[in-house]
Amino acid sequence: MEAIILQILNGLDKGSAYALIALGLTLIFGTLGVVNFAHGALFMIGAFCAVTLSRILSLSHTVVDETQKDFLGNPLQVEVPYVYNIFGQATGEAIIDWAVPLAILFTIPIMIGVGWIMERGLIKHFYKRPHADQILVTFGLAIVLQEVIKYFYGANPIPTPAPEAFIGSFDFGAMIGFEAGQIIYPYWRIVYFMFAAVIIGAVFAFLQFTTFGMVVRAGMADRETVGLLGINIDRRFTIMFGIAAAVAGLAGVMYTPINSPNYHMGMDFLVLSFVVVVVGGMGSLPGAVLAGFLLGILESFASMPEVTSIIPGINQVIIYLVAIIILLTRPRGLMGRKGVMED
């Protein structure tokens, strides 16, 4: 039982990342009908927003500290971040420590902007062209974005720690009444899962309970009719693209403490996220979220030593295997709608 709960928990954080990226992909697909291969790059850009913010906050100048001496007896030179000068030492330290969560605020406008530029600048010209062309041009864009990031940040992963308060693990088993020491789980992963749940909830609430969301849903169902009613549906879809980009970016920001970001992290996630979208059903938002968590948990179960000793390497192929089986038995995916991408 403990082992099962532990594997479910382990699957949750990866599942959250899959679900967030897949949610964005599906939003774009459902509204604009575009297969966005650059979505992984948006995830990566989000992660690098966090890196950038933590670097900006740590910008420092050298100050001579008269009270301390180095080993030669000269006054010690210390690097003091500018943040200390503005907010004072204690607050400054806290701000630097909380750089990753703070990056959320910084990332949302940037990602919406990036998404808006992408949609208006490039993708809108591809609505009328075949899906293969959309895949190709966004694939090219993903390469370009990835290389730009590589040029500025280098090819090595950049470690970006979580705030001090969330470093380390806690005993989840003891909290829910199991023996102590059985289910140990890192704090940040549970934070990530809760964050993902909030974002997913917010997106659904936005679509479900606001007028804007209602119009967007109507547009997803029948774009032409909504347009005929005198609503500028293109503008709303562009905004949805920005929101989808922001969701991917936020997933990236919060993922940085789990995995140090590098320039190809987006592509690594993208391939799996596409599988997730297809399993969940093209164009179905709940399907994408469900499939994301399901496949994440499945993957973590498959990597249990008990399982890999029976079927070696199953953890590497399980997701693809499941995707193939689902695509062949339930062509529309788990929750796919009728008539979406059936040619």
Partner 1 sequence: MFGLNKKDSTLLLIVAGLVLLAPFLLNPFPEGSAMAQFNAGYPDLMQRFVIFGIFAIGFNILFGLTGYLSFGHAAFLGVGSYAAMWMFKLFGMNVLPALALSILMSGLFAVVIGYVSLRRSGIYFSILTLAFAMMSYALAYSVLAADMDGPDQQGLLQKGLTGGETGLQLTLDDPRILGQQTAGDGNLPVPSLFGLEMRSASELNVGDWVFTFSAGYYFSAIVMLLSFYLSIRIFRSPFGLVLRSIKSNQQRLSYTGMNPKPYMLAAFVISGMYAGLAGGLMAAMDPLAGPERMFWTASGEVVLMTILGGVGTLIGPVLGAGAIKYMENILSKINSDILHSWFAFLPDGLEDFVVTLIYPFIGKGWHLTLGIIFMLVVIFLPGGLVEGGQRIARAMRRKKQTASDDDTKAKQPAE
Which residues in the 121-180 window bind partner 1 by CB under 8 A?
122, 125, 130-133, 135-137, 139-144, 146-148, 150-151
Nearer to partner 1, 177 or 312 (CB): 312
In the bound complex, what is the minimum distance in angstroms from residue 264's beta carbon to partner 1?
Answer: 9
| Site of tokens 């909504």 | 226
Nearer to partner 1, 42 or 250 (CB): 42
**By CB under 8 A, is residue 324 in contact with partner 1?**
yes
**C-beta separation of 170 from 185 below 8 A:** yes
The smaller minimum CB distance to partner 1, of residues 75 and 154, is found at 154
If one asks whether residue 3 binds partner 1 (CB under 8 A), the answer comes out as: no
Kindly tell me which of 52 and 160 has the beta carbon lying closer to partner 1: 52
34 binds partner 1 (CB under 8 A): no
The DSSP bridge partners found for residue 61 are: 80
Write each residue from 35 to 54 as x if it is in contact with partner 1 (CB under 8 A), else as -, in one continuous string. Answer: x-------------------
CB of 157 to partner 1, least distance (A): 17
* For partner 1, the closer CB: 131 or 337: 131
SS3 per-residue string spanning 50-75: HHHHHHHHCCEEEEEEEEEECCCCCE
Give the footprint of partner 1 on residues 266-295 (CB under 8 A). Answer: 267, 271, 274-275, 278, 282
Rank residues 34 and 191 by Cβ distance to partner 1 and give the closer one.
Answer: 34
* Of 81-89, 176-184, 252-260, 314-322: span binding partner 1 (CB under 8 A): 314-322
Using only the alpha carbons of the chain, give its radius of gyration.
23
Smaller CB separation from partner 1, 150 or 217: 150
> Residue 341, interface with partner 1 (CB under 8 A)?
yes
Q: Does 327 bind partner 1 (CB under 8 A)?
A: yes
> C-alpha distances in angstroms, 334 versus 56, 198, 294, 295, 338?
44, 23, 11, 12, 12
Q: How far is the CB of 143 from partner 1 (least distance, A)?
A: 3
Query: Least distance to partner 1 from the beta carbon of 73, Å?
Result: 42
Task: Pick the closer one to partner 1 by CB: 194 or 324.
Answer: 324
Minimum distance of partner 1 from residue 267's CB (angstroms): 8
Nearer to partner 1, 144 or 214 (CB): 144
Residues contributing to the site for partner 1 (CB under 8 A): 35, 122, 125, 130-133, 135-137, 139-144, 146-148, 150-151, 267, 271, 274-275, 278, 282, 312-313, 316-317, 320-321, 323-324, 327-328, 331, 341, 343
